[in-house]
């Protein structure tokens, strides 16, 4: 299942908190697609994912928004 979360209109720490809830509730083989825009989220979320040992890919768009595709551990 793909869980999508558009946080482009939200400021950190809200995207990080909501993403952690989604990740906690994901089942095996689920993925999470999150879109973020604010500077704090673009810095903090990849750090969190790396430290928590999630594999993810990121795409940076021309408008500065970032899309992260996160695989469940």
Q: Is 69 left (phi over 0), alpha (psi -120 to 50) or beta?
A: beta
| pLDDT for the residue numbered 73 | 84
| pLDDT for the residue numbered 28 | 93
| pLDDT for the residue numbered 22 | 98
Question: Domain boundaries in the chain?
Answer: 2-71
What sign does the CA torsion over 13, 50, 3, 59 have? positive
- pTM exceeds 0.75 for this model: yes
Q: For the chain, give the number of residues.
A: 73
Identify whether the C-beta of residue 49 lies closer than 8 Å to the C-beta of residue 15: no
Those residues of the chain that have pLDDT short of 70 are none
Tell the CATH topology of 2-71. Translation Initiation Factor IF3 (3.30.110)
């Amino acid at each position: 299942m793909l869980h999508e979360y558009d946080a482009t209109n939200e400021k950190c720490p809200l995207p990080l908190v909501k993403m952690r809830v989604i990740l906690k509730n994901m089942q095996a083989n689920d993925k999470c697609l999150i879109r973020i825009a604010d500077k704090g989220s673009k810095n903090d979320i990849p750090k969190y994912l790396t430290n928590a040992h999630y594999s993810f890919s990121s795409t940076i768009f021309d408008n500065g928004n970032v899309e992260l595709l996160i695989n469940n551990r």
